[in-house]
Amino acid sequence: MFVPEKCVITQEMHQGGALPAQPKGRDRYRPYAQLIVSITTGISAILGLARGAVEYFVEKAPHKGIAMTVHTSQAAVGHIQYKVGLAAMKVESAHLHISRTIDNLERHVQNAELLSLKEMAQLQTDMTYAAMLCWEAVGLLMAESRGSVIADSNRLSQIFRDIRGGSNHALTTASTGLELYGRVLMGLPPQHVIILGAAAWGRDK
């Protein structure tokens, strides 16, 4: 698909390059290009995979029994119902974190307001925490899916591996994000290079 020039922003500005004194139009997004990429190509895919995993498990559960028991349908078993409910809530909680990130970022961009250091840290941490919630959710379902779930051809296994791989990316690693937020909350400088770059750009304005 052809992407017109008016819909394109460059990414180098997250390292603190100069912008017009009063950024307008698409230029207003340039300081946050890396965060936008993380949302649109990273955490959004992870969230979609996690939702797909819950839907897949729910679809299969009524027709699957539990080995070594009298249960002929996982859907009728209390602890399976609990696990599905918990997994679904983890995915929905991840969605809420991502929605907050998008709303906060868009509000600041539209009002031509710079994000504070704490707000920038929270945005980055929201995405990493959401990624962690997603792979935890799928892990709950994996644990209730028989030994055959480890097969490469198993759809749930494929989803879990993709989510784990995506969650290990530098921009969606929960340990890095949670350290970042904890440092900022305790008055320490951030250790995350994206936040350091965006913060440096803000000091130059």
**pLDDT bracket for residue 146 (50, 70, 90):** confident
| Cα–Cα separations (whole angstroms), residue 99 to 43, 87, 93, 120, 143 | 11, 19, 10, 15, 29
Predicted local distance difference test score (pLDDT) of residue 18: 43
Structure tokens at 157: 């296994």
Position 7, amino acid: C
pLDDT of amino acid 26: 64
3-state SS assignment for residue 5: helix
pLDDT digits (tens, 9 = 90+) for 169-202: 888 899 999 999 999 999 998 888 777 766 665 5
Tokens of residue 62, six digits: 């009524």
Q: Which of 86-95, 97-106, 108-117, 160-169 has the lowest mean pLDDT?
A: 108-117
Task: Give the per-residue pLDDT at 129.
Answer: 96
To the question of pTM greater than 0.75 for the whole model, the response is yes
Q: Could you report the per-residue pLDDT of 11-63, keeping only the tens digit for each? A: 554 444 444 445 566 667 776 777 777 787 789 999 999 999 999 999 998 99
pLDDT at 12: 54
Helix (H) or strand (E) holding 106: helix 78-110
Q: What is the pLDDT of residue 27?
A: 66
Q: Which amino acid is at 181?
A: Y
With 70 as the cut, is the pLDDT of residue 151 above it? Answer: yes
The residues, any chain, with a CB within 8 Å of residue 204's CB and separated by 6 or more, are 16, 18
Reduced to 3 states (helix: H, G, I; strand: E, B; else coil), residue 58 is helix
**What's the mean pLDDT when you consider all of the chain?**
84
